[in-house]
Amino acid sequence: MNTNKPAVPNTTVTRNVHDLDRTTDNLYESLVVIAKRANQISNNVKEELHGKLAEFASSNDNLEEIFENREQIEISKHYERMPKPVLVAIDEFLNDKIYHRNPAKEQK
């Protein structure tokens, strides 16, 4: 996942409901699209974090080494400061960066 993303707020933002159903004409369908994208983002970030933390894993760590590993702590803090996946997904959805389709609507 690219960490040089556009600025996404880290705090709660009041959204206009009509902005969310602009592209789908259905608020609930929009929320499903956003939720699925947020799950994808979350899984990607989780895999990336586990990959970076696996570099520090050792079979014979003692307690002092675990608590004193500053690089590992900095990596963890970086991921904690990142915007939540739902906020990123909402931003992508509102800026038309997510491709989505509804096969049920296409059949009609």
Averaged over successive runs of 10 residues, the pLDDT of the chain (108 residues) comes to 60 85 92 96 95 76 63 88 92 93 81
pLDDT at residue 1, as a whole number: 47
pLDDT at residue 54, as a whole number: 83
pLDDT at residue 5, as a whole number: 53
pLDDT at residue 72, as a whole number: 83
Identify the burial level of 30 via C-beta atoms within 10 angstroms of its C-beta, where 0-12 means exposed, 13-18 middle and 19 or more buried: buried
pLDDT at residue 60, as a whole number: 64
Angle at 87 between CA 16 and CA 33, to 5 degrees: 75
pLDDT at residue 71, as a whole number: 82
Q: Model pTM?
A: 0.78
10 SS3 class: coil
Q: How far apart are the first and last CA of the chain?
A: 37
Alpha-helical runs (H) found in 1-108: 17-20, 27-54, 63-68, 70-81, 85-94, 103-107
Domain locations in the chain as residue ranges: 22-55+66-98
